[in-house]
Amino acid sequence: MNHNLFESFAKRMTERRQHDFIVTPEGRNYSYGEALEVTEQLAGALVELGVEPGDRVAVQVDKSPEAILLYLACLRMGGVYLPLNTGYTFAEIGYFLGNAEPHLFVCQPAALEAARKVAQETGCPHVETLADDGTGSLMTRAATAERYTAIEPRGADDLAAILYTSGTTGRSKGAMLTHHNLASNCRTLAEVWRFTEQDRLIHALPIFHTHGLFVACNVILMAGASMLFLSRFDVDTVIEAFSEGTTLMGVPTFYTRLLQDDRLSPERTANMRLFTSGSAPLTAETHEAFHRRTGHAILERYGMTETNMNTSNPYDGARIAGTVGLPLPGVEIRITEPGTHTPVADGEIGMLEVRGPNVFKGYWRMPEKTREELLKDGFFVTGDLGLKDAKGYIHIVGRDKDLVISGGFNVYPKEVEQVIDEMDGVVESAVIGVSHPDFGEGVTAVVVPAAGAELDEAGVLAALKDRLAKYKQPKRVFFVDSLPRNTMGKVQKNQLRETYRDIYKNA
Ligand code: AMP
């Protein structure tokens, strides 16, 4: 049996030959039949360039339908797809190319000169270009290359992709994802989220990350559905798209931004059947506000680069605000005492560990890191702290590295943030630990006030006095216009820790 993920996709693509796969507002549309043909051409170009099964193909390009076809072409001929965040500088790219040793680097045309230089320095033999309008040297080559119409046989355990983690602590690690990892997860998600051929996904996420690439595109391909492919998230375009789309996969910032628009209403979203959220915590307030405004309960799910998706709120059952739902079918989650891996009782906070067909094979060329995080019994130590409630729903309280230890007590930032966020005049907050001479770490709050709100440090501290145990109360409160976030909407707490690192120096 051929376990190549593309085998399953090709079957659906052939059945759906006449139907839309990708449409764009500019009319750069591909039916499934057209997409199949371009994957043959692009796979032909990869083979012509000497890419062999198992070789890495590194890609740093703007979002376009053709970039998705390149991903599919790479799967088809057995290459290992390696997408890179478009925000990476060439100094960073040098690390990725040096670490992954791809046979080919595909870059944006404007970056060709710098890309050639870094490719030469790192021994990457080929550089080609792909522009966001679908032109570039790779497409030119594909037009004349001998078509590759086969589907390279792959084992379940062979690599389909390497995705580098965002690496907020130390070097990025390349998560090795197999054909079986990706296939099993998108099959499950298409089923539990009830995707059908009638669905049209509004795709407004970046495609170098697990969410926009694997969750979104693989689910659509598995279902034979279609996507309205937007170059980025833009409130006006997305609100317009609600009349044509049936589903939106978002990060929490999509929803907070949509909520700021007066047009958001039950009528506008009447054609939509599902809104999902992930990649960062969706606050219960946002979940509830969206429900009030549209009648839709956002379905929150939880996953990560290394594991694909792990949990989801149910499609039919209660979608509980502030939780990431139940383990997906076939996925096991245990919550353990950090360090010992001994399960804790339900309701107690511990480390989330995950096992299942979704869990990656290890970190590329980092056997020690792999051994530390991927345990002998198959459980992966996620680095996320959370608990399982009486109904079996998982609640995430934050990353273990964000845990604040003040005077020997554990302070979970989310608990403090929730209390601050409930205060009048607060839009949102982030709580971090900052080095403190007496306490080890001082609980520190960074708050975004609402426009016109009259908040000051003493007022916030006074309001928290009766709401939180003394050791959880912030020692200092700072105000900012907005919190630093990455493209997936995650608050960059490492940046905040850096900004405020000296505040208790003379305390
Ligand atoms: P990444 O590997 O970039 O996808 O980041 C994965 C991390 O994002 C997880 O380990 C969590 O810390 C966080 N994350 C993803 N989904 C959620 C969610 N629904 N709620 C809270 N955190 C989430």
Indicate the average pLDDT of the chain. Answer: 96
Residues above pLDDT 90, as percent of the chain: 94
Q: Whose CA is nearest to atom 23 of ligand 1?
A: 280
Cα 182 to Cα 75, 210, 219, 375, 383: the distances in Å are 11, 10, 10, 21, 21
pLDDT tens-place string over residues 341-395 = 999 999 999 999 999 999 999 999 999 999 999 999 999 999 999 999 999 999 9
Ligand 1 pocket test, pick from 352, 396, 400, 493 with the greatest ligand atom count within 8 Å of Cβ, gives: 396
pLDDT tens-place string over residues 287-328 = 999 999 999 999 999 999 999 999 999 999 999 999 999 999
Q: Which atom of ligand 1 is nearest to the CA of 396?
A: 21
pLDDT score at 338: 87
CA distance 468 to 474: 10
pLDDT score at 131: 98
- Compute, in angstroms, the gap from residue 488 CA to the centroid of ligand 1: 9
Nearest-10 Cα torsion for 37, 43, 45, 51: 180
Confidence of residue 171 (pLDDT cuts 50, 70, 90): confident
Residues above pLDDT 70, as percent of the chain: 99
Mean pLDDT in residue range 389-414: 93
DSSP secondary structure code for residue 207 in this structure: S
pLDDT score at 507: 75
Contact 361, 348 (CB under 8 A): no
Name residue 362's beta-bridge partners.
176
Q: Give CA 86 to chain center in angstroms.
A: 14
Confidence of residue 166 (pLDDT cuts 50, 70, 90): confident
- Compute, in angstroms, the gap from residue 279 CA to the centroid of ligand 1: 4
pLDDT score at 167: 65
Is residue 279 within 6 Å of ligand 1 at its C-beta?
Answer: yes
Is residue 325 within 6 Å of ligand 1 at its C-beta?
Answer: no
pLDDT score at 169: 58
CA distance 343 to 424: 39
- Compute, in angstroms, the gap from residue 342 CA to the centroid of ligand 1: 23
Contact 86, 60 (CB under 8 A): yes
Tokens of 77: 């001929």
Calculate Rg over the CA atoms of the chain. 23
Tokens of 357: 């067909």
Q: What angle do CA 442, 256, 189 make, to 5 degrees?
A: 100
Q: How many residues does the chain have?
A: 507
Residues 6+ apart with CB under 8 A from 125: 50, 103, 104, 119
Statement: residue 185 has pLDDT above 70: yes
Q: Whose CA is nearest to atom 21 of ligand 1?
A: 281
- Compute, in angstroms, the gap from residue 301 CA to the centroid of ligand 1: 9
Ligand 1 pocket test, pick from 299, 384, 393, 402 with the greatest ligand atom count within 8 Å of Cβ, gives: 384
- Compute, in angstroms, the gap from residue 288 CA to the centroid of ligand 1: 20
- Compute, in angstroms, the gap from residue 163 CA to the centroid of ligand 1: 15
pLDDT tens-place string over residues 419-433 = 999 999 999 999 999
Please tell me whether residue 326 adopts helix, strand or coil conformation: strand
Is residue 305 within 6 Å of ligand 1 at its C-beta?
Answer: yes
Confidence of residue 407 (pLDDT cuts 50, 70, 90): confident
- Compute, in angstroms, the gap from residue 241 CA to the centroid of ligand 1: 27
DSSP secondary structure code for residue 400 in this structure: G
pLDDT score at 192: 98
Mean pLDDT in residue range 108-113: 98
Alpha helices by DSSP H, 406-449? 413-421
pLDDT score at 168: 59
Tokens of 131: 């522009």
CA distance 92 to 346: 42
pLDDT score at 380: 98
